[in-house]
Chains A and B, each alone.
Chain A
Amino acid sequence: MIRLLDRWSLDPKLVVAIGGLTLFGIAMIYSAGAVYVPNAVTEGAWLRQTIWFALALAAFTILVRVPLRWIEWVAVPSYVISVVLLGVTLIIGTGSGTAAGVKSFIDLGFISFQPSEIAKLSTILIVARLLSQREASLTSLRDLVAPSALVALPLGLVILQPDLGTAMAFVGILLAMLYWAGSPVALLLLVATPVVGLFLSYDTSIWSVYILAVIGFLYFYRFRLYLFESVALVLANFAAATMSRPLWNSLAPYQQNRILVFLDPEVDPRGAGYQVIQSKVAVGSGGLTGQGFMLGPQKRYDFLPEQHTDFIFSVIGEELGFVGTALAIAAFAYILWRLLRLAERSADPFAGLVLLGIFGSWLVHVFVNVGMTVGLVPITGIPLPFVSYGGTFLFMSWVAVAIAVRVAHEP
């Protein structure tokens, strides 16, 4: 039996953990459908999720037996197709459910899917191919340009949808893969400085201190960078600071609200702050052991927004309490830890890079999704892998599992 599981999954530890998490997710989706005034969408969601899980397992079974070379080969065409699809999405894309304003789906009639899910995986593969072919480590800013550009293209298209959550996942993918490819941490931090500066520039004095620290760090680090790179970084910081005000103004009011509400949800408790407050109320009232499976009143009486998709973790918090949330966080930690272990063991650079790309993507998803339910992160529409309701997302996540397992277990 164990041997059978071993042969089927190649990596039973990872696959059993993720399979268990998926089943747990289906159970929570079933619970999320148990509301006082039922509606057809949430009520049948668990069943549709189960069907997608079956399809995903079938895809997994096939994909783990595909030669590694095929996966490497498919990277370029799938990347091209993904980018084209993302472009098409901007034109004919449709919204879905409550996120109707975000055009992220392509509706083929019998099925609708999110091209950005495919794009994440293809981007991981193509960046992994690019970086694994390099002989030298990534030490200078110039070395980062090519992989960054590969990520920036789909990322930009996703932002135009606008799907901020998925865009953040692309950033996670890029940073994790660059890190694994050997670029110095200090360099990555320096690249991140303009982005941080963008947010700090709301207060001139804080930003002044910050820019001095960045310049000081660059001076200390001067022997590892070309001069023009240092100058470019400083200029980028200034550009970000001057851009911050117009950028803020160009945001739609609801986007501005989300950021303001993140800082203090009570500024608009019935509007933008409603979701965070209700989610925190649900999670907080769960206490140590929760209200009991299926029994959360916040959920039942419809106070929780998007409770079977983006806020599924709030249902876990309300019904299963801290015991449930801690176990769920631990499960994700184990899965991500396992990806790192597999990467560490892989002598093949391509395998390690793919695993780190998947790691980066999932880490962002978990942190942002779980963090927003308690106000740790601003609210962005980003699902929780394997748990949130969403057919194509579940399917593509399992494809990622299959690829991860496949590359890690290349004999």
Chain B
Amino acid sequence: MSLHLPHERQRRALGAQIVLVLVMASLAVAFFRIQVLRSNTWELRANANRIRQLPIPTPRGVIYDRQGRILADNVPGYAITLLPGPVDSMRATLARLSQYMDLPADRVSRILQTMSRFGREVIVDGDADFEVVAALEERRGEFPGVYVEMRPRRRYLLGNAAAHVLGYVGEITAEELVSGAFEDERYEQGMIVGKGGIEEQYEARLQGRQGLKYVEFDARGRIVGDFTGIQTNEGEPGQDLYLNIDLELQEWIHHIFPDSMAGAVVALDPSDGGVLAIYSAPTYDPNAFVGGISQDLWDGLRADPGNPLFDRAVLGRYPPGSTWKLAAAAIALDLGVVTPDEEMEVACTGGFFFGDRYFRCWDASGHGMQNLAQAIGNSCDVYFYQLGLRVGLNDMLRRATDIGFSQRCGVDLPQESQGIFPSEREWWNRTYGYSPREGEVLNLAIGQGPNSQTPLKMAQFYVALAGDGSAPAPAIAQGVELAEGWSLNLAPEHLEAVREGLRRVTAPGGTAHVGTALEHWEVIGKTGTAEHELSQAGLREPHAWFAGMAGPPGGPPEIVIAVIVEYGDSGSGVAAPIMAKTADFYLRRKYGIPVDSVQTYGEHLRQGRPTPWYTRRYPPPPRRIPPPQLQDPSSSEAVPTALSTTPSGPTGPTQ
């Protein structure tokens, strides 16, 4: 056999050595290629393997009230985030997570959908309980891809009391992300943004710039720690925001507003139009929205017949009723068709013939001959029918439009309803398909007819009455540039005449006297009892209005307030006390007088409290001893002030 021959063995060994060298050389070349020539590519890939970029949420700007008290701030919270991975393993992880938190099936599928759509991390729970977080941290190995981070959590210190005006925050939706409002490159999937109210209006300012950090993960998606190779970008917190809102006043209104009633209160500062308080009832707790509202709660809010999510102060439109008579008066004075001291030619005998129709006054017993101030004080419909006729339909439409009754106030909120008021005769043709007759002006003059206004709009109008006739756009935030306001173009003595009328409403003997008389302050204003379709059908009570102003006696008004209580029935009995109590609280705080929950004269009487201040304030003792049945003011004392007897039908669809 050849193996016995050394030279044959040498030959064979050489062949084997060649094979050995070739094999080893091919391995060496392969490693040289990958480790020396291509090393950079693979190194990048190794980093991408284990280093992920994660956003660092930055706190939103704090929202302060006019005195620097916090309305909304941030507290530390925990967010549970799921990092993208294979769908099956993500699904398994979510299934395991659902043992520790509430994760319905549709939420799971939404999470997986978002993940596949954006290919990045998704927040499973934006506001996790500490117990859940602790449980997850303990079992970190079981939850690959789950990342728990500290994340500032929004807190609304007033809760229900300032829900509508502040809005709330929530995770940006896919729709918002592609919409124009969030096209700024700051915005990314998963971010928390303002929804509604001031949070939405000033989103760009309140939102900071989120930071970026680099976190190392192992192969199963477990966090190893921060990657120190790349500088962490801390981001920038949002800017703080100061509002004109008075925190205590806002809270007080929430406190005094009847729990079972719906409505709105708007308080403005007549000196600059700043919004002191803006409240809508019923309300909700915006804190429930932070970190994602539970489906049950959301469904409950949506299904609530009281519609608590609806901001009645700026979105609700109500026929203004008698509170609008002041607008008619202002237009007439401006046009010079009436003077303050002049009496109308037809005395009020409980009604008024125009053409072939009889327009009734709310008080069938009649008011007799009256000047403007008396007519306002009595809320006499007959006077205002005649005033309306003197103005004429065309001028009434034109001037009311100038004052902005068919426009928005321009408040700094994302949404505001436009008032409904015809700007021209053509409006009837467009809306109802017929040409208006001159008689429409009679309804308009008493605040009925096609006229619907927001509580905010009415408050703004009374700001003009409280001052020099001009009304700036109401501003919720301080130091913001808003749209130009408008002016009534009234002479000071004319304004004073109008205010004199308002004074009569709350003076002894006036309809709203008992409900608005206060120890320290003079309240003047106008009641309104606004008819609407349900009330005309006799199904529900009319809406109760009170719009007015208050301040130290003899001085200029320091607060203007509009109150509406839906189905409140009586402006003087229901809405007026809310206004007076709001004004009293604000002014007492302002002048350092201790606040008492028993405020108005009516409340003192009902509580049986002595009222020595009342006899001091109104020296000639009231001719009329307040009737003993005051315990039930809404039925007895408060008389509907603006009950128009216009036949229902085509002329009054929005009543």
A contacts, CB < 8 Å to B: 36-37, 132, 134-137, 176, 179-182, 185, 270, 278, 280-288, 297-298, 300-303, 317, 321-322, 325-326, 329-330, 332-333, 336-337, 340-341, 343-344, 346-347, 349, 352-353, 356, 359, 363, 366-367, 370-371, 374, 376
Contacts and interface: CB of A to CB of B under 8 A. Distances in A.
Nearest to B32: A322
Contact of A359 (B16, B28, B32, B141): B16
A3 B207 CA distance: 80
Contact of A329 (B3, B31, B42, B224): B31
Q: Which 4 A-B pairs have the closest CB atoms?
A: A284-B42, A301-B218, A285-B46, A322-B35
Given A303-B219, A336-B20, A182 B1 contact: yes
A128 to B, nearest CB: 11
Interface stretch (B5-13, B504-512, B524-532): B5-13
A305 to B, nearest CB: 9
Contacts of A37: 141, 218, 222
B220 interface: yes
Nearest to B26: A376
A374 B31 contact: yes
A283 B35 contact: yes
Interface in B21-64: 21, 23-24, 26-28, 30-32, 34-36, 38-39, 41-43, 45-46, 49-50
A224 to B, nearest CB: 16
Nearest to B45: A281
Interface string B532-544: 0000000000000
Given A181-B3, A349-B3, A367-B23, A285 B45 contact: yes
Given A303-B218, A371-B27, A363 B3 contact: no
Nearest to A334: B24
In this complex, the member of B2, B13, B45, B86 whose beta carbon has the largest number of chain A beta carbons within 10 angstroms is B13
Contact of A36 (B6, B20, B34, B224): B224
B15 interface: yes
B352 interface: no
Contacts of B8: 182
B416 interface: no
A268 to B, nearest CB: 11
Contacts of A341: 13
A322 B36 contact: yes
Contacts of A333: 20-21, 24
26 contacts: A179-B12, A180-B16, A181-B1, A181-B3, A278-B49, A284-B35, A286-B35, A288-B35, A301-B218, A302-B219, A303-B50, A317-B35, A322-B36, A329-B24, A330-B24, A333-B21, A336-B24, A340-B16, A340-B17, A343-B9, A344-B9, A347-B6, A356-B16, A363-B23, A374-B30, A374-B34
Contacts of B16: 176, 179-180, 340, 356, 359
Contacts of B24: 329-330, 332-333, 336
Contact of B31 (A36, A136, A317, A367): A317
Interface residues of B, number: 45
Contacts of A301: 50, 216-219, 224
A180 B27 CA distance: 24
Interface of B: 1-4, 6, 8-10, 12-13, 15-17, 19-21, 23-24, 26-28, 30-32, 34-36, 38-39, 41-43, 45-46, 49-50, 86, 141, 216-220, 222, 224
Contacts of A303: 49-50, 218-219
B43 A284 contact: yes
A359 to B, nearest CB: 7
A301 B220 CA distance: 8
A367 B31 CA distance: 12
A271 to B, nearest CB: 9
A344 B11 CA distance: 9
A349 B216 CA distance: 59
Contacts of A343: 9, 13
A303 B221 CA distance: 10
Contacts of B224: 36, 300-301
B218 A352 contact: no
Contact of A376 (B2, B27, B222): B27
A179 B16 CA distance: 9
Contacts of A322: 31-32, 35-36
A176 B218 CA distance: 43
Nearest to A133: B1
Given A287-B39, A325-B31, A329-B31, A340 B13 contact: yes
Contact of A325 (B13, B35, B220): B35
A330 B25 CA distance: 9
Contacts of B38: 284
Contacts of B222: 36-37
A278 B219 CA distance: 10
Given A343-B13, A352-B9, A363-B20, A370 B27 contact: yes
